[in-house]
Amino acid sequence: MGIGSAMRSAVTAAINSIGSTVTLTEYTDDTSDGGYTGDGETTVSTQTETAIPFEEFSRLIKGKFGNLETGGTQIALKYDANIDISTKYKATWQGEVYDVTKINRYTIEDTLVAYIITVSKRFNQ
């Protein structure tokens, strides 16, 4: 087992053990006459995943790879999450609704270990 597979197993075990539910909602912005984006949105689909805070993910990885820099609020999803990095999502996590602003694939030795998503608080909820 390579280091990528070993880290994937450790991260997956942590997410399964201490993770909390996050609901990802794929949506599109409504458009008004003239093609401008309106105030509403249309839900395309929803899915439920399990996640841990990025700080917990970072703690697992830190022992092997040193400190990881973060920007914004981030959470880690298991490597097998059904997520498309080119799709627009919002996330409901720990009772709060967030816009998903960035989705990164975290890989080690060409092995997908986890998805790291960056979220920002929605103020219109």
* pLDDT for the residue 38: 62
C-beta separation of 89 from 24 below 8 A: yes
Residue 17, exposed/middle/buried by CB under 10 A (0-12, 13-18, 19+)? exposed
**pLDDT tens, position by position, 42-97:** 889 999 999 988 888 877 766 544 444 444 578 899 999 999 888 999 999 888 88
In CATH, what number is assigned to the domain containing residue 62?
2.40.10
Structural domain tally of the chain?
1
Q: What is the span of the domain harbouring residue 58?
A: 3-121
pTM > 0.75: yes or no: no
